[in-house]
Amino acid sequence: MTSDVQIVEVGPRDGLQAESTIVPADLKALLIEKLHQAKLSRIELGSFVSPRSVPQMASTSDVINHLKGLTAGRKIMSKGSVLVANQKGLDAALESGATHIAVFTAASDAFTLKNINGTIQESLDRFAPLMAQAKTTGISVRGYISCVIGCPYQGPTSPSQVVPVAEALLDLGCDEISLGDTIGVGTPAQVKQLLSALQSTLPLHQTAVHFHDTYGQALVNILTAIELGVKIIDSSIAGLGGCPYAPGSSGNVATEDVVYMLNGMGIETGIDVEKLLMASRFVRDELGLPIRSKAALALTALGH
Ligand code: HMG
Ligand code: MG
């Protein structure tokens, strides 16, 4: 089993995109600063998508401007990433000074049609020129594949639908692929099937897993992925998250719970748990949310 795991904190993007409250840019930047202080280095800072599609992310440029004004701004930006939907998104990302971007498609046409108004193939065609541009400017690119286990519109996804999408994203030059169980329906058996189907296509060092926790399976699915050699785990502070175009999906696995599990397994994350709890409390207070993370609940009850 692996001794070190990287966490990609997606709360400021995946988390806040799903909340009905639109968080002001300065508070988003404050949250990101707190996550950075907890020693989360890879943070998804926001997205450059149509503000009509996701109004919660309309302020991403402002968030980045606020970050640039912080002492830790340069450090945060050096590893932080932004999600981009299209050329307009890439242009905005480049203008903001982002050096890591993520593009997103899915294993289901029904989902991409709702989420990005195009088929999987159309989304890949849209990414091709912008990926080429990103590569020439030294930008690293993560590719998300949503609905890797199930789709809210099409039902179960077979691993054979995921493999060609992963191949296409790697061919376009993605440095890493994040496998999204967007509606959180997967169980360990399906995670095993998926990762074994991808074995000869997607190298483990380029594989990330992104589990939403709709059915309470996220931690056990992460454990399964780790046992199979995956080292990059997406999670979201306070278990925030969801996709506005995936009805029934709930939050991502909570970062607090993932860190508790990894620490208990002796896997090195370098995360400062007390500061992580401060970030969690901050965002819950801002949004008026109860504690969803079991680890945060237990540690808070113990006075942490
Ligand atoms: P469209 O309507 O086909 O695009 O949407 P369009 O080019 O016709 O543009 C429509 C309007 O949006 C125009 O404005 C554009 O200028 C504007 P108008 O002229 O009508 O006033 N626009 C933009 N504005 C700012 N930045 C941009 C941008 N693009 C267009 N980048 C489009 C197609 C892809 C743009 C739209 O469907 C979209 O933005 N979708 C994004 C949806 C989204 O963000 N979903 C959540 C993220 S994915 C996710 O959460 C899953 C993940 O977490 C993994 C998992 O869990 O599985 C990653
Ligand atoms: Mg997601």
Tens of pLDDT along 194-218? Answer: 999 999 999 999 999 999 999 999 9
pLDDT confidence of residue 244: 79
- CB of 210 shorter than 6 A to ligand 1: yes
47, 50, 60, 181: residue to mutate for ligand 1 pocket, most atoms within 8 A of CB? 50
Is residue 188's pLDDT more than 80? yes
- CB of 182 shorter than 6 A to ligand 1: yes
Radius of gyration of the chain (CA): 18
Question: Are 57 and 47 spatial neighbours (Cβ–Cβ below 8 Å)?
Answer: yes
What number of CA atoms fall less than 13 Å from residue 112's CA on the CB side?
A: 21
Tens of pLDDT along 217-229? Answer: 999 999 999 999 9
- CB of 86 shorter than 6 A to ligand 1: yes
pLDDT confidence of residue 241: 87
> Cα of 105 to ligand 1 centre, how many Å?
12
Residues 6+ apart with CB under 8 A from 256: 237, 238, 239, 273, 276, 277, 280, 293, 295, 296, 299
- Kindly report the average pLDDT of the chain as a whole number: 96
Q: Provide the pLDDT confidence category of residue 1 given band limits of 50, 70 and 90.
A: low
> Cα of 173 to ligand 2 centre, how many Å?
21
Q: What is the CATH number of domain 6-301?
A: 3.20.20.70
Q: Provide the pLDDT confidence category of residue 3 given band limits of 50, 70 and 90.
A: low
Active site residues: 243
* CA separation for the pair 182, 179 (Å, rounded): 9
Least confident of 70-74, 223-227, 248-252, 277-281: 248-252
Tens of pLDDT along 105-123? Answer: 999 999 999 999 999 999 9
Tens of pLDDT along 17-53? Answer: 999 999 999 999 999 999 999 999 999 999 999 999 9
> Cα of 304 to ligand 1 centre, how many Å?
40
DSSP conformation letters of 190-216: HHHHHHHHHTTTS-GGGEEEEEB-TTS
Q: Does the predicted model carry a pTM greater than 0.95?
A: yes
Which atom from ligand 1 is nearest to the alpha carbon of 102? 58
> C-alpha dihedral over 129, 99, 286, 184, to 10 degrees?
50
Tens of pLDDT along 110-168? Answer: 999 999 999 999 999 999 999 999 999 999 999 999 999 999 999 999 999 999 999 99
Which atom from ligand 1 is nearest to the alpha carbon of 52? 12
Domain ranges of the chain: 6-301
